[in-house]
Structure 1
Amino acid sequence: MAIPESRFQTMKMKMKQLPSFPAFFFSVLLLASASLQAQTTDSASQKAAPASVLINNARIFDGNADSLSAPMSVLIEGDKIKAIGASLDSPENANVIDAGGRVLTPGFIDCHTHIMLQVTQMEGLFSDEFAFAYRSIPTAETMLMNGFTSVRDASGNSFSLKAAIDRGLVDGPRIYPSGPMISQTSGHSDFRSDADKSQLIGGGKSTFERYGMAVTADGRTEVMKAVRENLRRGASQIKLAVSGGVTSSHDPLYVQEFTADEIKAAVQTAEDYGTYVLTHAYNPKAIQRAIHAGVKSIEHANLIDEETLRLMKEKDVWLSPQVSIYSYYPPGFDADRKAKMDRAFNGLDTMFRAAKKIGIKKIVFGTDIISSPEQVRGMNHEFTHRTKWFSNAEILQQATGRAGELLALCGKRNPYPAKLGVIEEGAYADILLIDGNPLEDIEVLTEPKKNLALIMKGGKVFKNAIE
C-alpha cells in the first residue's frame, strides 16, 4: 500500500528519509570522546555561566498562557530565574541582553525521543557500541540547537550521555532516561532475526539487547527485575511495550503485550521507587489494560477510541502522541510494516479529534525521531504538523508547560528538581529568544538556525545571535 502523495504535501516534510532501529551499549568511550571535544572546542557552552544575566524588553510566553506579555525583564541568577518584572535593576557585573522586543519562551521539551538511536538500520547491524556513542554527541548538540533543552528518552542506554552533558563535557539537553525499553518475548522490542535460535534452546540476546537499547522479560519476576535494573542505572521513569508496533516484525498492531499482572508488577516496582511507568501502546484494549494497571503515560495511541480516551481523562493519564514520524516510510520497510505505518498514520485524525471533543488537556509534544543526526535537524517540523488539530498556543503549551508537568511525575527520581517548561521565578533558566512570533506563525520554529536568536539552558548561554 503506497502512502498518498497528499500526505507529504500536507505534512510538508522537509526531512530526509532515513531509517532506524539498532541497539547499543553506551560505554566509557563517550566520556573519552566528550573530554577530547571539551578540550578542543572554543564554544560559549564551555565557559562558566555568569553570576547574573538580565534580559530586557522581551515579550514572554510563559509556557501556559494563550498570549504574550507586554515587554518585560527576566533576571537569571545561577541556573534559575530570580525575578520577572516590567523594570528590573541590573546586578553588578551582570550580562545584560536587550531582547529587542523578541518573543521569550521556555526551552522546548521533547517527551518521546531516542537520543542514542541515531544510526540507520543497516549501520546498527554492522556497528559496535562505540559508533552509537560517537553519534550521540552531534545528536545531543543538534537537539539543543533546535531549542530543545530537555528530553524524555523513551528507551535506550543514555545514562552516560546524560552524565557527560550534566558534567559539561557535551552540549545537549537535559535527559530524563528510561533505560532499555522492557518488552515481552515476541514483543515490540524483540528484534532477533528469524535466523536467531529461540532462547529456550540456547539462543542468545539480540544486538538490540546487547547494546542496552531494550530488554525482554516474561512473567512477574523477570519484569520486576528488569525494572529494578533500570532504576539501579538511574532511570527517571520506566518504559514498557504493551502492544504491537510499526517497526517491529513479529507483533501486529492489534496485539496486547504483557498480562495485567506483569504490567502491575512494573508499576508497583516503579512506584516503590517513587516514579511511574510509560507504555508504548496503539490499540484500545492494550491501553485500557495499561491504565487499569496504573500506567501514567500512554505513548502513540494512534488507534485509540473514545471510550478509552474517556478512561484516560477519568484516570488522569497523559497522552504522548507523535505526528511527523508517520509521514514517511523508512528505507527497508517491507509491505507489512508499510501497511502498519499507513494504519497508524490514518488513526491520528480520529485520535486527535476525539481527544479535543472529550476535552483532554494532558497532551504533550514528542517526535520519536530515530535514524541519524541529519534527521534530527528536521525534528522541529513536528510543530507545524500538529496545526491541523491544535492552535499554535496549544502546541507551544504541549512542548513547554504541559511537558514540564509530565517530566515532574518522576518525583524523587527527578534529576532536575526545579520547574521546567515555564517562565516563572524559581524555575530553571531554560530560555529561548525567537525572531518572529510563534503564536501567530509557528512555522518560524522550523528554522531554528535562522530564528532562534538565543538559547539558554540552566542560565548558560549556548547561542547568542543578538550580540
Structure 2
Amino acid sequence: METRRRVACLLGGLSLWLLGGAAPAGGYAPAPQQNAAARAVLIINVRLFTGGPTLSPPSNVLVLGNAISRISRDPIALPTGAEGMTIDGGGRTLMPGLIDAHWHTMLVALTPAQLLGSDAGFANLVAGAQASAALMRGFTTIRDLGGPAFSLKRAIDSGLIAGPRIYPSGAMITITGGHGDFRQLTDLPRTPGAFTRMELLGGAIVADSPDEVRMRAREQLMQGASQVKLTAGGGVSSPFSPLDVSTFTEAELRGAVEAAENWGTYVTVHAYTPAAIQRAIAAGVKCIEHAHLMDEATARMMAARGIWLSTQPFLDDEDATPFPPGSFERGKQLEVIAGTDRVYQLARKYRLKLAFGTDILFAPNLAPRQTAQLPKLKRWFSASEILSQATAANGELLRLSGPRNPYPGKIGVIEQGAYADLLLVEGNPIDNIDLLDDPERNFRVIMKDGRIYKNTLTG
C-alpha cells in the first residue's frame, strides 16, 4: 500500500510538472482570508467612497490578510498578536481600487509588427513591466480582452511580479479577414491546419465554422479563460475589416456561447454596429464591447435583456491612437469617435448596465494615460457615477464569470469581507474627478490583496 501511495504521489507531481505547474483559473488566488494572526493594516481617519454622491464621515478600516475585516466610525485596535501597521489617512479619501474592464495586458505596448517579430519571452517581459505600471496607476484589477495573458496572470498571482488581478480571455476569436486577423494578402490562401504567428503567440485565432468556433472557445477555457471574447464586427486597427461588416454568423456565435455556458461563464463580443450587436444578443452573448455605432432600437434591446455595455470615451484628442494622416485606420477611428456621445446618451436614457474600460492598444505612449480616460466621462456622468463604473459596476460585471471567476471574493467595493484592494486619494475625487488624471501625485497609498505597493505617507 505504501508503494502504491508513493507511486500515486509521484504521478501527481509529474502531472503538475507536465502542465507547467498550471492550475485552474482560481488556483493562485484564494478567497479572502480574515485571520487575526495574519498581517494587519489599520487605516484610520479616512472618508470612504461607497458609491454615493457624498463621502462617509471619518472612518477607520481594518485589513486582515487580503480582506477587509472591519469598518467603523469608532476606534479600532489592531488584533493582539497580529503583525501590522497603522496608516493615518489624515481625512483623505479611501476608495476601492480601479478596475479596467477592457484592457490588453500583452498588446498595450507592442505594435502588431513588433509583437509578431518578437520572441514570446521579450513580449512577456514588456507586458510584465506594463502590468506593474498599471497597478501603480491604481488599477488593481483588469479584464483582459485578447492576448496570451495566462502566464503573466500566474506570475502576478504567485507574487513573482507586481500587477493587477487579471480576468483573462486568452486569444480573441475572429474570422478570416475579421478584426484581429493581422495577416497580409500575401499570406493567402491559407492552408488548412496551418497557423499564423499571431495564432501561435495566442493573441488571436481564426475560426470559420460553428464547430471550429466551439473548439477555439474550449481551448481558451482549458487554459483558464474567465470569459470568452469574439470579434463580431469590424474594427479600427485590423487591416481588412471594414467597420460595417458583421463577421460571425449567429450559429458560429452560438457555438462559443454554448461552450462558455457549459463552463458556467459567458461570451463578450467586439461590435460597433446595430446588426453585429443584435446578432450577438440573439446568439446569447451577455456583454457588448464598444457599440459606438448602435441605434436606439439596439439600446432598447440591450436594456430589455439586461445585456452589459462595456464601452470607452473615445475622443479626437491627445489620447487618440495615432494613425498616419489619411490612412484607412484613421478614417475608421474618426467614425467610431463620432459615435461616442451617442452611445453614452443611449446608455443613460435606457439605464444600461454600463462598464468602464480603456482599450488602449499597441500604444505604449498612451498607457500612462489610463486613469485620464475617467475624467472624460464627466460630460455625461457625475463624479460618483464615474467612480462607480470603474469600481462596483465593473466588479459586478466580473462576477458573470461564475465558477470560472479566478478571484471569488467581492471586488470593487469597501465592505466587510471584500478583497482589500484600496486607494488612498489626496483630496476628494467626488468634488474633483480630475484628481485621477495624476495618479502618481494623488494616489498616496495603493493596496492590492491586502499588500501595500505604494505608500508616500511614511518614510
Classify the TM-score, shorter chain: 0.7 to 0.9
| Distance in 1 (alpha carbons) for counterparts of 2:182 and 2:421 | 37
Q: Are the aligned partners of 2:314 and 2:337 in contact in 1 as well (CA < 8 Å)?
A: no
Q: 1:210 to 1:364 in 2, by over 3 A?
A: same
Q: Are the aligned partners of 2:61 and 2:72 in contact in 1 as well (CA < 8 Å)?
A: yes
| Distance in 2 (alpha carbons) for counterparts of 1:172 and 1:332 | 32
1:16 maps to which residue? none
1:36 maps to which residue? none
Cα deviation, 1:253-273, whole Å, max 9, x if unaligned, reads 111111111111111110000
TM-score norm. by structure 1 comes to 0.86
The letter for the 1-side match of 2:288 is I
Q: Are the aligned partners of 1:454 and 1:463 in contact in 2 as well (CA < 8 Å)?
A: yes
Q: Are the aligned partners of 1:50 and 1:95 in contact in 2 as well (CA < 8 Å)?
A: no
Cα deviation, 1:90-115, whole Å, max 9, x if unaligned, reads 22343111111000000000000001
| Distance in 2 (alpha carbons) for counterparts of 1:245 and 1:394 | 28
| Distance in 2 (alpha carbons) for counterparts of 1:66 and 1:267 | 38
Count of aligned pairs between the two proteins = 419
Question: Within the alignment, does 1:315 sit opposite 2:302 as a pair?
Answer: no
TM-score norm. by structure 2 comes to 0.88
| Distance in 1 (alpha carbons) for counterparts of 2:230 and 2:116 | 24
How many Å apart are 1:85 and its aligned residue? 0.7
How many Å apart are 1:358 and its aligned residue? 2.0
2:55 maps to which residue? 68
| Distance in 2 (alpha carbons) for counterparts of 1:281 and 1:333 | 25
The letter for the 1-side match of 2:305 is K
The letter for the 2-side match of 1:357 is K
| Distance in 1 (alpha carbons) for counterparts of 2:235 and 2:445 | 38
2:43 maps to which residue? 55
Q: Are the aligned partners of 2:323 and 2:330 in contact in 1 as well (CA < 8 Å)?
A: no
How many Å apart are 1:122 and its aligned residue? 3.8
Please list, as runs of the form range in 1=range in 2, the aligned pairs for 1:360-379 lying within 5 A after superposition: 360=352, 362-379=353-370
Q: Taking CA–CA contacts closer than 8 Å with sequence separation of 6 or more, which of the two structures ends up with the larger relative contact order?
A: 1
Q: Are the aligned partners of 1:142 and 1:373 in contact in 2 as well (CA < 8 Å)?
A: no
Q: Are the aligned partners of 1:50 and 1:460 in contact in 2 as well (CA < 8 Å)?
A: no
| Distance in 2 (alpha carbons) for counterparts of 1:371 and 1:344 | 18
1:251 maps to which residue? 241
Q: Are the aligned partners of 1:58 and 1:72 in contact in 2 as well (CA < 8 Å)?
A: yes
Q: Are the aligned partners of 1:197 and 1:204 in contact in 2 as well (CA < 8 Å)?
A: no
| Distance in 1 (alpha carbons) for counterparts of 2:453 and 2:348 | 37
What secondary structure does 1:353 align onto? Answer: helix
Question: Within the alignment, does 1:451 sit opposite 2:442 as a pair?
Answer: yes
Q: Are the aligned partners of 1:137 and 1:170 in contact in 2 as well (CA < 8 Å)?
A: yes
1:242 maps to which residue? 232
| Distance in 1 (alpha carbons) for counterparts of 2:122 and 2:326 | 26
Q: 1:333 to 1:262 in 2, by over 3 A?
A: farther
Report the identity percentage. 45
| Distance in 2 (alpha carbons) for counterparts of 1:58 and 1:154 | 35
Cα deviation, 1:340-391, whole Å, max 9, x if unaligned, reads 111100001111112212222x111101012354432111111111111111
How many Å apart are 1:409 and its aligned residue? 0.5
How many Å apart are 1:203 and its aligned residue? 9.0
1:133 maps to which residue? 124
1:85 maps to which residue? 72
Please list, as runs of the form range in 1=range in 2, the aligned pairs for 1:251-330 lying within 5 A after superposition: 251-324=241-314, 327=317, 328-330=320-322
The letter for the 2-side match of 1:131 is F
How many Å apart are 1:86 and its aligned residue? 0.5
Question: Within the alignment, does 1:353 sit opposite 2:345 as a pair?
Answer: yes
How many Å apart are 1:333 and its aligned residue? 7.0
| Distance in 1 (alpha carbons) for counterparts of 2:315 and 2:200 | 26
Q: Are the aligned partners of 1:324 and 1:385 in contact in 2 as well (CA < 8 Å)?
A: no
| Distance in 2 (alpha carbons) for counterparts of 1:225 and 1:59 | 49
How many Å apart are 1:293 and its aligned residue? 1.1
How many Å apart are 1:466 and its aligned residue? 0.9
Worse overlay, 245-254 or 326-335: 326-335
1:23 maps to which residue? none
Please list, as runs of the form range in 1=range in 2, the aligned pairs for 1:122-201 lying within 5 A after superposition: 122-200=113-191
| Distance in 1 (alpha carbons) for counterparts of 2:131 and 2:382 | 29
Q: Are the aligned partners of 2:59 and 2:71 in contact in 1 as well (CA < 8 Å)?
A: yes
